[in-house]
Amino acid sequence: MNYKVEIIQSGRGGSINYIENEQALRLDWEFAMDGAYVFAPTPAQWDAYWQSNNIPWAAGRRQEILERVAEEVRRQKAQTAKVTMDDDCIHFKF
């Protein structure tokens, strides 16, 4: 499957676009004292959130998409960070 991850910075945060087959979903991110956080809907919210935003192809694919985002953000910007995935975010600890 063809996908890419674009990281956009605006001040101490920004957005991350996960693009697959020319369709994108957007996640927000922010620097913190202990690293950076990429915010995501919780597992319980995921499907309904993306369907309500006209991105139905993301339903049922939370783990897959967030793992891809985490891998690409780490590769592009935080190669030495420790990465953990919580219910509502991906945490990159520097």
Give 56-86 pLDDT, tens digit per residue.
999 999 999 999 999 999 999 999 999 999 9
The pLDDT, as a whole number, for residue 1 is 67
To the question of pTM greater than 0.85 for the whole model, the response is yes
Residue-number span of the structural domain to which 83 is assigned = 3-93
**CB of 27 within 8 A of CB of 13?**
no
Q: Which helix (H) or strand (E) holds 55?
A: none
**Domains identified in the chain, total number:** 1
**CB of 5 within 8 A of CB of 69?**
yes
Tens of pLDDT, residue by residue over 20-45, are: 999 999 999 999 999 999 999 999 99
